[in-house]
Structure 1
Amino acid sequence: MSDSDEEPQLSAHALAALQEFYKEQKEDAEKLEEALTSGDNNIQLKEDWQLSQFWYDDRTAEMLAKEALSAVGDTGRIACLSSPTAYKKLQELKPETVLVKCLEFDPRFQVFGEDFVMYDYKEPLKLDQTLKGAFDLVIADPPFLSEECLTKTAVTVKFLTAGKIILCTGAIMKDLAHRLLNVTKCKFEPSHSNGLQNEFACFSNYDAPVLNS
């Protein structure tokens, strides 16, 4: 048998990385099963980079949550679109009279129970009609930095609310975001727990004082 007929071998570094990935996947699966059984939604799940997931750091999640709660008042309704870390922080800070939903493609977030709504940006209007215009504010974070993803996410945002919008995406999407959702860049610059090389920005279609102070 020639060397060319041999099966390719992973380097020690690549093999270790693959084993670590499978270990993390198993740990997340065990956490999710335990949370679903106990009804506990206070679960920390690792980012799935294959789904282009990048969690906000705590400072960013808190700023977004405080702005959203300030904007909707004590009886508002907020949708977190592809932004589960904002949802988590809202759950920590909100009064019981504020309703928050988490629209996500990742089925792991079923741990949020009735607050979880399955959402695929590729099918932007595949949602229950009871959600149409049901929210005072939407926090949206398109999972991919592309014109297609932002355009389809914008369709969903308009379906969910005729009111306030907070959009978190790459700064490079500024012009398209303004055309699609009439949002402008805020002073606050969001950041992520594991860092991102792309410049990230917050946009809103209203004054958003917490994000512009």
Structure 2
Amino acid sequence: MSDDEDMPQLPADTIAFLQEFYALQKEKEELLLKLENGERCENEISFDEDWQLSQFWYDDPTIENIVKVVTECIPPNGSVCLISSPTLYSPLKKALGYKNCTVKLFEYDKRFKAYGDDFIYYDFNDAQNISEELHKHFDIVIADPPFLSEECLTKTSASIKILAKDKIILCTGTIMCQLACELLGLKMNKFKPKHKNNLANEFSSYSNFDFDNVLDKV
């Protein structure tokens, strides 16, 4: 018997799964390289959650509802700032294209450099290190601080105040309600953000405008 015959053989379905997995990984790497080189990509690129960075992606209904409200509220040629909310970037970019709006992602995770000039490296520990040309620049700022802590929300709120010239949407834990209202003058909405992977902590959304009323009308 040859050495090859002595080696354990994987089931055919396992081999097929592995081949598909490696093919998807290769495709993702190629897409990232194209984006980094400024090339257009017809295929949508997806990023996996990095739990070490406290990343938890929204579910599809949450994304759809936030996009509806932003699309309804933003003026033509307007601008959106996303702070630690990377799952909203691609859907908003697509939805707001006809209004010629810009979408900037402020994010710690450098994988999102793939979004080119729309990516701005952001660390809430250095919350006020923001280019002066972006002060009071954005019609809508949407933030989802990565950690449910007073320190994180306080520092992220400092960035929001610098960047926002009008509307603010904050998504964070319900336990942060009082602090969110005190720091930014927001009110809790009926709308509850949900995540693809259910979290133990209850989440809420907050805004400085009538988010629920806008959502009910669209």
Normalising to structure 2: TM-score of the pair?
0.80
TM superposition shift of 1:33: 3.2
**Partner secondary structure for residue 120 of structure 2:** strand
Q: Which of residues 183, 189, 192 in structure 2 aligns to 1:189?
A: 192
* Gaps in structure 1 of 5+ consecutive residues: 1-22
CA distance in 2, matches of 1:96, 1:206: 21
Partner of 1:210: 214
Q: Is the 8 A contact 1:121 1:152 kept in 2?
A: yes
Q: Which of residues 111, 129, 136 in structure 1 aligns to 2:132?
A: 129
Q: Which of residues 85, 88, 96 in structure 1 aligns to 2:87?
A: 85
CA distance in 1, matches of 2:214, 2:94: 18
Q: Deviations over 1:68-101 (max 9, x none)?
A: 1211122211101100111221012112511111
* Gaps in structure 2 of 5+ consecutive residues: 1-20
Q: What letter corresponds to residue 32 of structure 2 in structure 1?
A: L
Partner of 1:20: none
Structure 1 stretches of 4+ with a deviation exceeding 2 A read: 26-42, 209-213
Q: Deviations over 1:191-210 (max 9, x none)?
A: 01112110000100111223
TM superposition shift of 1:60: 0.6
1:118 aligns with 2:121: yes
CA distance in 2, matches of 1:34, 1:130: 29
TM superposition shift of 1:211: 4.3
Partner of 1:16: none
TM superposition shift of 1:42: 3.0
Q: Is the 8 A contact 1:80 1:103 kept in 2?
A: yes
Matched length: 191
**Partner secondary structure for residue 165 of structure 2:** coil
CA distance in 2, matches of 1:114, 1:127: 15
Q: Is the 8 A contact 1:79 1:102 kept in 2?
A: yes
Q: What letter corresponds to residue 102 of structure 2 in structure 1?
A: L
CA distance in 2, matches of 1:210, 1:47: 30
Structure possessing the higher radius of gyration over alpha carbons: 2
Partner of 1:51: 53
Partner of 1:142: 145
Greater alpha carbon shift after TM alignment, 37-46 vs 74-83: 37-46
CA distance in 2, matches of 1:27, 1:130: 38
Q: What letter corresponds to residue 54 of structure 2 in structure 1?
A: S
Q: Deviations over 1:22-81 (max 9, x none)?
A: x99x94973533543444383100000010001111111111111112111222111011
Q: Which of residues 152, 158, 162 in structure 2 aligns to 1:159?
A: 162
Partner of 1:73: 75
CA distance in 2, matches of 1:45, 1:33: 14
Q: Is the 8 A contact 1:105 1:119 kept in 2?
A: yes
Measured on the aligned residues, the alpha-carbon RMSD in Å equals 2.3
CA distance in 1, matches of 2:54, 2:215: 25
